[in-house]
Amino acid sequence: MKKWGWLILCWGVFSGCKVYQEIKIEKVRQLQFEEFDNTGIQGSLKVTIENPNWYALEITAADIDLGLQGRKVARVHLSESVTVPKKSKNEYLLKINGSEAKLDAAIASAFSILFSDEIIISGEGYIEGKALKIKKQSPVKFEYPIKKADLKKKKS
């Protein structure tokens, strides 16, 4: 009977009572490439994330089409999980990697980057989070301008 009680409680909490609120990606401030070639991409995104919930969330996975200047340059995934504390709004460094890098699209974007002060970085896909032992996928879509100086290639 206890199992059914927990199941009903969890279903009620997460479906009808609006206890779970979506996390918000407020701003992408920096994109840094450690590796970008035909075999793949590795890097990091500096992102502001707001968690309006009364409990901490762990972002465990992501699958995002990353774009520069309106062109898809890679499909990236989260390399490491990130814990977002309850009722918080902080900046996080998300480590990303991907295997579907489109070098030709990145080169085409580079030409338009040369003549602009800001770069439009975009993403569309989903993030997967875990809270209170329950996993949930949430769609994510963003488009933010970042300063040219904040698009970096890490020096070896």
Name the one residue in this structure whose structure tokens are 């009722």: 87
Domains of the chain: 22-153 (2.60.40.10)
* Cα 77 → chain centroid: 8
d(CA 149, CA 126): 27
29-61 as b/e: b if 16+ CB within 10 A = ebbbbbebeeeebbbbbbbebbbebeeebebee
Instruction: Evaluate if pTM is beyond 0.75.
Output: no
54 to each of 11, 14, 20, 132, how far by Cα in Å?
17, 13, 9, 11
Q: Which is nearest to 144 in space by CA: 25, 50, 35, 59?
A: 25
**pLDDT tens digit string along 70-125?**
888 888 899 999 999 999 999 999 999 987 666 666 666 666 666 677 888 888 99
Helix (H) / strand (E) element for 5: namely helix 2-11
Least confident of 7-16, 57-66, 107-116, 143-152: 7-16
